Structure 1
């Protein structure tokens, strides 16, 4: 049986993201940037000791993996791992928490995420993405075709990922 968990509203700071990257990497046994989905439960169990805000019950984790079409035979990237955590954040539609996550990508408080911001943060998090990758991510999220992602587009992007 899964242990009962206290529901808390997570706050994801840039320092948290760096620490989550470190923890994720410690589960990446062959240093290929991927962790087997079957090991994600153990990773979240480890988080219970260090990040009480991100405690996810076993049945809740299974549901999140199912929503993201991830089965135990698939490896997941750090970005997918953060997406699972984002589900936890957005599960309650906590706009304050989403704003804090948005701020990581918008350090100048311009109200927008540029391709340069996206590339910078993803690379600082250890993701091996190119400028072309960042441009493609931007193209998918930028519905207004402004060349930037607004906070509303950011929220829609996360909610869209949650619904697929």
Structure 2
């Protein structure tokens, strides 16, 4: 594909840039195994089932095992504008932690949370757990003071989130349509 798809807005540019980080051959395609990595790199939180749906919808018919940017870009753009794969809100995270903190101490043990993450719901990988624990665990106590952890996530949450960009892009669509109708 020559030059790849036409990028028409900042959302598409952000998706394309993230995609290209994992385009190891420079041919505007990635291995299907990188789909989840690209989505997470963008700040999305898809389930494994949702990643598989993205792969099914965007995998190349000609080159099985590869996803082209030209198929990935419109699919992911649409899903982001619908706020699919959005991370949980801080109040939702706090309530989830409070639910598993049966004694309401404001802390949970690393071992307990690791057990839950490995055995309940969709299991996390060891790498995902290690990344979380590196930030969540208080090095002095070895426990997770979850309110502090959630606040750390908020501080590290960029104001230029992909979902804010998706909202802006969606809001611009009627404006572009109105302008083009007046011009023609």
TM-score normalized with structure 1 length:
0.41
TM-score normalized with structure 2 length:
0.37
Larger radius of gyration: 2
